[in-house]
Structure 1
Amino acid sequence: MLSESDRAALARYTLAAQTGKTPTDHETLVGVVSAVDDTEGETQRLLGLPGADEVTAEDLRAALQLVPTERHWVDTAERDLLAALMDRLGTWDAVGEALGQRGDTVRFRYRRLGGEKIWPSGRPTKRRGAAAAE
């Protein structure tokens, strides 16, 4: 959990704080990452934000505390997007093909992300005895 003092310190990396708004955790994390990635410092300075040379170890420690919440948000978004694509395409093979992956790989990923919905067309067909061989 991020302390209020850490949250206030990290707010300086966001445009929201410049306009008097309270930045979301996502905006805050993106702001710190953008500062770290802007090694030249040009983009950040044009926006009136701190550059890479101003990011402290304490800022990085605090920003890393936001990652688990953001990871959960991204995982949930990925799960929901996969389900929506499955609703539209109908089979895991079609979803896999659309994403340049194998259908089973995508289906396993969906399950690992907590997806529980089962689509009738997404189930492998069951083979029974000699009738399946014909």
Structure 2
Amino acid sequence: MSRWTGSWLSGPGAAREGDPAEEPGHRGERLGLPESGLGSVAGTGRRFLALLIDWVPCAAVGNFLTTNPAVSTIALFALLTVVSLAVFGRTPGHWVAGIKPASLTGQRLSFGHSVLRTLLLCLVIPPLVMDVDGRGLHDHVARTVVTIAR
């Protein structure tokens, strides 16, 4: 079977077959990030906690303000996320969870990258498609990685 089809036709783990020297030792190693502590890739638990902290107030406000709470919740969440990322570099949920989205270039997250990352995050599927470094599709497109900040 060819190398590219083996990654999805042969089931889980098939993509990891090959030269062990090519495989990263820990999440974020390919990006030059430490294995643990400050600056390491944030785990799924912290990321989910941050999402929950940001989502719940938006859902509560959306339920009280409009007759279509789903649309208003997503709109409020997107607004909160874009503004928070562009102004503060992280959302209130990120702050509470002790994580921070960081640009791979080392620069501050631009407004455009904040918008792009948030739009893809609101589509739900991109965050679920993760690579070996723990980066979702939305992080790949925006060239970011979520790291531990404290």
TM-score (norm 2): 0.24
Give the structure with the larger helix fraction.
1
TM-score (norm 1): 0.26
Higher gyration radius (CA): 1
Give the structure with the larger strand fraction.
2
